[in-house]
Chain A
Amino acid sequence: MARRINLAGLLAAFLTIFLPSSALAQGFSVAPAEVRIDDLPPGEATAFNLTIRNKDEVAHNFTFSVFQPPEEQRRAGREEFPDASWISFSPPEIEVPANSEANVKVTVAIPREQKWTNQDWETWLGVASESSDLLAVKLYVRLLVSTDATMPARFNAKLFAGIVIGIVLISYGTYCYFRRRTKPQRS
């Protein structure tokens, strides 16, 4: 009898409640589905817009992320995008009213380093609706980035000023030197 009570107690201790939630369908879309950036020089940035359309009858808050897909899911010849922090979203999250659409600006900035020239990368931009439901949907936009084969020259104001000042000083020094040499000596 005592053993039966213990077993019943044990079973009760292991009971819990799992996954209660509302039951609503999710509906949103993202356009474009794929973005290709060509000839982006390292050291420069470019930007484009994603359009998020909320097809639901209620407003949703959308969040953005960068996902690095494994090699087998990337386009042929595409390497992994080196650093997700080179991609930024403005705004970082957005509320889209029911049956409306909104744009988010995506900026891609590649650091100015020789090793990033002539690269072909792929990464995915994730758009998800904030939800506590068991099943959630995330849509990915393929982002294909190809960098320029050469690094663009950059105007260096300090170097330019240095060269001008140097020329003036050297010229003035040379002028003074020859003037002193050619000046007639007084006896």
Chain B
Amino acid sequence: MKVAITSIILAIILALVFCLPALAQESSTITITMTGLDEISITLDKVAWPLGTVASNTEYETSPPIEWCTLTVQGNCNVNTLIIGKDAEWVSDPGAYKWTLSDDGSNGEHIYGLWFRISGDTETNGRGYVPITKTQSEFWPYSAGSSSSLAPGDKKKFGLRLLTPTYFVSGRQMQTQITISAVHA
């Protein structure tokens, strides 16, 4: 009987010697690297464009047209900036009525266009007015140009242009949002 029990214990020990390494969890080292003390930040000196009452199928530009708002890089790392727009919604009932933001700056019935232009970026040396769409796209720098990313302290002045729909429901206060974003270059 003693021999049998000893044999069982030895069999278990032998089996465990071979099985445990396969069953046990291996230790691993995960490395997380934070890039120095980099802090990302940009500021805009304007956040509103109080247009008041607008007419259909009409262009409106900020004043001054291309130096209306200043973007300043506040952090301590170089950044690339991007821009995206969205549909304009009726303030009183956002789900009930909207103007759709066009994908090329054009307008139509209940469709409006938004554009931006960066100071110094003219049609002859750059892009001129650029449509703002619902797809996030390059603000500064842009891949087709030779411009470089913005360094801490850099400023970019820009303006906006609105093209109202050819037809829209009157008397409704509309609101939209343009988001300018920054990412470590």
- Which residues of A does B touch, CB under 8 Å? 11-41, 44, 46, 48, 53, 55, 67, 69, 72-73, 124, 126, 128, 131-142, 148, 152-156, 159-160, 163-164, 167-168, 170-172, 175, 179
Of the candidate stretches B29-37, B100-108, B118-126, the one touching chain A is B29-37
Q: In the complex, what distance in Å separates the CA atom of A22 from the CA atom of B46?
A: 9
3 interchain residue pairs of minimum CB distance: A29-B41, A14-B56, A21-B48
Known contacts A19-B176, A23-B48, A136-B47: does B30 contact A46 (CB below 8 Å)? Answer: yes
Q: Which residues from chain A contact B167 at a C-beta distance below 8 Å?
A: 14
- Closest chain B residue to A178 by CB distance? B4
Set A15, A20, A48, A67: member contacting B170, Cβ < 8 A: A15
B156-185 near A? 1/0 per residue, CB < 8 Å: 000000101001111111111111111110
Q: In the complex, what distance in Å separates the CA atom of A49 from the CA atom of B44?
A: 26
Q: Which residues from chain B contact A179 at a C-beta distance below 8 Å?
A: 4
- Closest chain A residue to B112 by CB distance? A18
Q: In the complex, what distance in Å separates the CA atom of A163 from the CA atom of B171?
A: 77
Q: Can you identify 12 A-B contacts, CB atoms within 8 angstroms? A: A16-B174, A17-B174, A20-B51, A25-B44, A25-B46, A35-B33, A38-B32, A134-B47, A134-B175, A140-B184, A159-B23, A167-B8
Chain A interface, DSSP helix/strand/loop, else mixed:
mixed
Set B15, B37, B39, B47: member contacting A30, Cβ < 8 A: B39
B44-87 near A? 1/0 per residue, CB < 8 Å: 11111111111110000000000001000011010010000000
Are A18 and B51 in contact (CB-based, < 8 A)? Answer: yes
| B143 is an interface residue with CB less than 8 A from chain A | yes
| B148 is an interface residue with CB less than 8 A from chain A | no
Known contacts A31-B40, A33-B39: does B54 contact A15 (CB below 8 Å)? Answer: yes
| B96 is an interface residue with CB less than 8 A from chain A | no
Q: Which residues from chain B contact A69 at a C-beta distance below 8 Å?
A: 183
Are A27 and B43 in contact (CB-based, < 8 A)? Answer: yes
